[in-house]
Amino acid sequence: MGFFDIIKLIFPLLLIIGLLFGLLLLVKKIQFKGGRIIHSNIKVVHTLMLMPKKYMSFVKINDKIVVLGVSEQNITLIKELNADELEINETDNTSSSNFGDHLKNLIKR
């Protein structure tokens, strides 16, 4: 088997891999183009994990709070509240505190 025979085998393989990569980029671009939520009046306020793969999410939409039950296979509306019924702390305190800080606070008590 000569050098040119190896080139004849590798060139079509590289060509197919390149075409598949280009197709992948095209599909990603088309898929995510229409899937973005642009509205700034929709915000996930808090998500609480109840069990593995089961969550309760509080979503703020305009002046309403929607409580959703989220599992792996469906999303269920639990309750719809007015925003003034709940005290909402919209600051993200997960970045400033970690597990060590919480543990130190518990030990101090």
Instruction: Using the predicted structure, report yes or no on whether residue 94 has a pLDDT greater than 50.
Output: no
Give this prediction's pTM. Answer: 0.47
Beta carbons within 8 Å of 42's beta carbon, 6+ residues apart: 59, 60, 61
- Taking the domains of the chain in order of start, what are their residue ranges? 1-36, 38-85
The better pLDDT of the pair 10, 28 is held by 10
Section 71-82 average pLDDT: 92
Section 103-108 average pLDDT: 73
Report pLDDT digits (tens) over 17-37: 999 999 999 988 887 665 555
**Residue 84, token pair as written in the block:** 């003034």
Report pLDDT digits (tens) over 43-59: 888 898 999 999 999 89
Q: In whole angstroms, give the CA distance from residue 83 to residue 65.
A: 6
